[in-house]
Chain A
């Protein structure tokens, strides 16, 4: 039982490049989330998916897209990376409006 897994762990991009961050959970949770963590700002919700087939914007969705591929997987895509997107990205899942379980994070640097 791995919980929530994320790939990659680290990534460096140049401005304008695109990439997809992958997230998977094996806890049969309905809800999944993407956050970014920046110093002094806590975690801010980018997008979330309350159930398979649905996605909704969070607090800071601009510049990102998401795909809920199936119940297990929820990916985050940066179409054209910007230095302002340098951050640590966390995926999380939950079984209800309840405790969220977090993945290990992806540290992204955009040059």
Chain B
């Protein structure tokens, strides 16, 4: 079945550690890719998105993601996490239909 997979369900890091969250999708053809973040008790906010062009995209709060077409991947990275990055992170894909397909989510806990 076509899907979006996030490999890490729960990640625990210390402050200043580097972060990489994996995301793979199984759709062929052109896709638009997104990472959303949900801070505790809040609604989803867009971190970054990729539609075309440079496969390395930069988002808010120091996050970036790299689109690797051959690997059907769109991994999220941050060189040095902060306690305030504690949140749930969702990868999502759409195929120009407007409908987003979400991954299962990754809970990130950053220890101060």
List residues of A whose CB falls within 8 A of some B CB. 31, 33, 35, 40-45, 48, 50, 58, 90, 92, 94, 96-105
| Chain A CB within 8 A of B90 CB | yes
CA distance A100 to B34 in the complex (A): 10
Task: Give B16-39 as 1s and 0s: 1 = Cβ < 8 Å from A's Cβ atoms.
Answer: 000000000000000010101000
CA distance A94 to B102 in the complex (A): 16
* Set of chain A residues within 8 Å of B6, measured between Cβ atoms: 42
Given contacts A41-B104, A42-B102, A43-B90, contact A97 B44 (CB under 8 A): no
Q: Can you list 24 A-B contacts with CB-CB less than 8 angstroms, sorted by A residue number?
A: A35-B102, A40-B9, A41-B104, A42-B4, A42-B6, A42-B90, A42-B102, A42-B103, A42-B104, A43-B44, A43-B92, A43-B102, A45-B101, A50-B98, A58-B99, A94-B98, A96-B98, A97-B32, A97-B94, A97-B96, A97-B97, A99-B49, A101-B46, A102-B45
**Closest-CB distance, A4 to chain B (whole angstroms):** 8
The chain A residue with its CB closest to the CB of B34 is A99
* Set of chain B residues within 8 Å of A102, measured between Cβ atoms: 36, 43-45
* Set of chain B residues within 8 Å of A50, measured between Cβ atoms: 98
* Set of chain B residues within 8 Å of A99, measured between Cβ atoms: 34, 46, 49
* Set of chain B residues within 8 Å of A48, measured between Cβ atoms: 98-99
Given contacts A43-B90, A99-B34, contact A90 B43 (CB under 8 A): yes
- Which residue from B43, B101, B103 sits with its C-beta under 8 Å from A103? B43
| Chain A CB within 8 A of B100 CB | yes
**Closest-CB distance, A10 to chain B (whole angstroms):** 12
**Closest-CB distance, A71 to chain B (whole angstroms):** 15
- Which residue from A33, A41, A104 sits with its C-beta under 8 Å from B43? A104
**Closest-CB distance, B79 to chain A (whole angstroms):** 25
Task: Give B28-70 as 1s and 0s: 1 = Cβ < 8 Å from A's Cβ atoms.
Answer: 0000101010000011111001000000000000000000000
* Set of chain B residues within 8 Å of A45, measured between Cβ atoms: 99-101
- Which residue from B4, B42, B45, B98 sits with its C-beta under 8 Å from A97? B98
**Closest-CB distance, A106 to chain B (whole angstroms):** 11
